[in-house]
Amino acid sequence: MKKFYSLIGLIRDIIFNRKLLWQMTKRDFRQRYLGSYLGILWAFIQPSITVLIFWFVFQVGFKSMPMNNFPFILWLVCGMFPWFFLSESILSATHSVIESSFLVKKIVFRVELLPIVKIISALVVHIFFVGVLFAMFAVYGYPPSIYNLQIIYYFFAMICLSLGVSWLTSSLTVFMRDVGQLVAMLLQFGFWGTPIFWNLKMLPEQFQIFLKLNPAYYVVEGYRQSFIYHEWFWEHAHLTAYYWLVTAAVMLIGAWCFKKLRPHFADVL
């Protein structure tokens, strides 16, 4: 019950400080690319180059065959773009408290907002790439459909998962700096363990259930259901229920852990 009240309190702070969050997000963008000629454009250039490299390698070089009778590059980016958001938001938010130690030492500042700033920054970039996704589908002759609207739902799903994980990891990193390295390693493992480049049906059916336990699988497949397969998320009721049970548990644990450790941040930093 205490964990639940911790989560409610943190969510209340987010709503109350929404204007401050947006101001801090803009400041985060400026500081991250301060001193570079292209500035915040690097936030969009780097993932774009990654996508172009994969397009050249798989579409031009390997001449990859269509996946489920669909152009492979479109199938690929539907999985890559949500993963970009999850990995960037979690990794950057993990270091958010340490990077802003000068704010942590101010008694009046709401420290729990720091991971959220990183998540919003990642979301701004992700929205841009969703626009790129629509453009790529249009180029290949696939117009928008009503199923694309559920992307908003998956935005919310990813934010909740990232928020719960980042509350936990950012608070632990203050006391154990190795947590940041561990998170980076787990994300790298998760990238190849999530069916982004490969189809889950390539595995024997008895092994597929284990990979479906990965929350990232739900989001990656959700994007493909929205753009390719034209299926609603409630058509996969069991998977949806499992995802939200896991996400709710992660948010409760993350909120409780952050609130418990927050009074000691200033002493360590």
User: Does the pLDDT value for residue 136 go beyond 90?
Assistant: no
Half-sphere exposure at residue 221, Cβ-oriented, CA atoms within 13 angstroms = 23
206-224 exposure pattern, b = at least 16 Cβ within 10 A, e = fewer: eeeeeebeebbbbbbbbbb
User: Does the pLDDT value for residue 233 go beyond 80?
Assistant: yes
Tell which wins on pLDDT, 139 or 35: 139
Q: Could you read off the pLDDT of 12-45 as tens digits, one per residue?
A: 766 666 677 777 777 776 676 655 555 566 667 7
As a whole number, mean pLDDT of residues 219-229 equals 92
Tell which wins on pLDDT, 201 or 80: 80
Non-local (6+) Cβ contacts of 72 within 8 A are: 58, 59, 64, 65, 66
Model pLDDT, residue 34: 53
As a whole number, mean pLDDT of residues 136-142 equals 87
Report the percent of the chain where pLDDT is more than 70: 79
Q: Could you read off the pLDDT of 62-104 as tens digits, one per residue?
A: 666 666 678 888 888 888 899 989 998 999 889 888 877 666 6
CA dist., res. 190 & res. 139, Å (int): 30
The mean pLDDT value of the chain amounts to 81
User: Does the pLDDT value for residue 185 go beyond 80?
Assistant: yes
DSSP-based three-state secondary structure for 112: coil
As a whole number, mean pLDDT of residues 98-119 equals 74
CA dist., res. 144 & res. 124, Å (int): 21
Non-local (6+) Cβ contacts of 119 within 8 A are: 89, 93, 159, 162, 163, 166
In sign, the C-alpha dihedral spanning 136, 54, 80, 205 is: positive
Angle at CA of residue 27, ends 24 and 32, nearest 5°:
125
User: Does the pLDDT value for residue 112 go beyond 80?
Assistant: no
User: Does the pLDDT value for residue 241 go beyond 70?
Assistant: yes
User: Does the pLDDT value for residue 222 go beyond 80?
Assistant: yes
**Whole-prediction pTM value?**
0.84
DSSP-based three-state secondary structure for 70: strand
CA dist., res. 205 & res. 215, Å (int): 19
Model pLDDT, residue 87: 92
Angle at CA of residue 148, ends 147 and 154, nearest 5°:
105
Report the percent of the chain where pLDDT is more than 90: 24
